[in-house]
Amino acid sequence: MTNLQIRSIFFALSFFCLCLFSCSTNIQPCSQPTEFPVHMHTSQVVGYDTNHIAIIRDTVMAKPVIGFVRNDTAYRYAFSSQTFSDFNMFLSTLSDSTSFFISPDSTNTTLGYDTLTFYYSRQRQFISNSCGFGYYFNIQSIRTTHNFIDSILIENTNVTNNASTQNLRLYIR
Amino acid sequence: MHQHKTLGYTFVSLFVMMFLSVTSFAQQAPVLDTSSDREDSIEHATANALENKISHQVCVSFDVFQALLNYNSTYREGYELAVDYYYKKDLYLVAEGGWGHSHLNNSRLSYASNNSFYRVGFNKSLLNRSSPKDWDMAFIGLRLAAAPIQRGQVTYTIIDNYWGTTNGTINATNFVGVWAELTGGFRVELFKGLFLGYSIRGKFLLNQKPFLTLAPIYVAGYGKSEKNAVFDFNAYITYAIRWKKGRSMPATTKK
């Protein structure tokens, strides 16, 4: 390869890069999530074996209702006409505890509601210059009523931007 | 409107650089393309003897591409200078520096930052010099860079669609960014002592921790510091200062 050919290649590459960088100098709008929910999966206790150990299986909720409580007022923010077993719950960024209510089946009122109260610490997290800051959370404890909820297992206390991490497993009766 | 202006400016810049490139090719082509095998062998021998030549060279370069970006950008301004010295065996010692500042003011963040930066390293030319007067080069190089950064007070707003908006401030701070660069490029002598050159750089942030709290949107010399690895581009206008020293040149030179 001659010097001339080498120079030609470099010039071509340079022009390409010049175009590329000239077009990417301004601030892009925010395109990342800035709110990071608790990921919860539901399971069901279907019975107990002879040693009184629970027999567990994955389950779904039929037409569930989920909402949060703010200033003693309940706000419904998730309602589904379908069944599903994975929920996202957004913790309050204004306080260190949040209460949610859950009904497993909005068409069967006899099942009632249960209330989950999360206690956690917040950590301000830089996301990007376009999106600013958000909050990560560290779950310290959860209290719940037991109308249809059997128990809750905290699998991962850290609520971050990792969408593949499951934080809670909710066992229903 | 601004985009049209930007696009127009880019095309004009490209046209000017393309014209200069063609001019450079025209200057170089006859020497390179008419060489016979015999001439090549003489050239090779001459190139090997270049270490004994009398010329020394210091180049001072100004990055005109940064000026183009400054014109296009609404949030940043940066300037970059480079000095290199021909050491030996196609090895150039390089020192670079510059300064810049940025400001961000959107619905979520507001702050300003400024910094200077310093780089040291070397370039290794990949082209054999055809004569003692041939200072054209295609090169690869390495740099180690540091930048003392001053970031002003940050005002932020966290928008939460469920729970409401949070506002706050973060105190101003000073910290140092350190990164390494792998670079490649070339430069061609258009007129006696005056070069046009380009370089492409891959930059790798070595100390990420100070940037976790808030990575400035622009760090002069590095770019967008919220990324741990970035690519950058430079277009240099270079002026060479040469002087003679030491032993005389061998009798057999090609030019």
Print the domain residue range for A66: 38-172
Contacts of B163 in chain A (CB under 8 A): 70, 90, 92-94
Long-range own/partner contacts, residues A24-31 (CB < 8 A, 24 or more apart):
A25/B69, A25/B72, A25/B73, A25/B76, A26/B72, A26/B73, A26/B74, A26/B75, A27/A129, A27/A130, A27/B74, A27/B75, A27/B104, A27/B106, A27/B217, A28/A130, A29/A130, A30/A128, A30/A130, A30/A131, A30/A132, A30/B108, A31/A130, A31/A131
Q: How many contacts (CB atoms, under 8 Å) link A and B?
A: 131
* Pick among B4, B64, B72, B108 to test the A interface (most A CBs inside 10 A): B108
B10-48 pLDDT, tens digit each: 444 444 444 444 444 444 444 444 444 555 555 555 555
Q: What is the pLDDT of residue A107?
A: 74
Above 50 in pLDDT, residue B5? no
How many domains are contained in chain A?
Answer: 1
Q: What is the pLDDT of residues A94-120, one digit of tens each?
A: 889 998 888 877 777 677 788 899 999
Residue A30's closest chain B neighbor by CA? B108
Give the nearest chain B residue to A19 (CA atoms): B10
Question: Nearest chain B Cα to A1, which residue?
Answer: B127
Q: Is B28 on the interface with A (CB under 8 A)?
A: yes
A7 touches chain B (CB under 8 A): yes
In a domain, residue A7? The reply is: no
Q: For residue B32, which residues of chain A lie inside 8 Å, CB to CB? A: 2-4
Dihedral (Cα; A162, B222, B116, B121), 10-degree rounding: 130
Which candidate in B212, B233, B234, B237 is best for mutational testing of the A interface (most A CBs within 10 A)? B233
Domain B2-244 has CATH 3.90.660: no
Interface predicted TM-score of the whole assembly (ipTM), two decimals: 0.75
**CB proximity B17 to A under 8 Å:** yes
The answer to the question of residue A152 being in a domain is yes
By Cβ distance, the residue of B68, B72, B158 closest to A135 is B158
Residue where the block lists tokens 């880019």:
B10
A135, part of any domain: yes
Contact A11 B21 (CB under 8 A): yes
pLDDT value, residue A19: 64
* Residues counted in chain A: 173
Q: What is the pLDDT along chain A (173 residues), one digit of tens a residue?
A: 566 666 666 666 666 666 666 555 677 788 888 889 899 888 887 778 888 887 777 777 777 788 887 777 777 666 555 566 788 888 999 889 998 888 877 777 677 788 899 999 999 999 999 999 999 999 999 999 988 888 899 999 999 998 888 999 888 87
Q: Residue B213: closest CA among chain A residues belongs to which residue?
A: A126
Is A33 inside any structural domain?
no
Examine residue A13 and state whether it is found in any structural domain, yes or no: no
On whether residue A52 sits in a domain, the answer given is: yes
Tell me if A86 is assigned to some domain.
Answer: yes
Q: Apex CA A60: angle with CA A58 and CA A61, to 5°?
A: 145
Q: Which of B12, B8, B16 is nearest to B196 (CA)?
A: B16
Note the pTM of the prediction, 2 decimals: 0.74
Residue B15, pLDDT score: 40
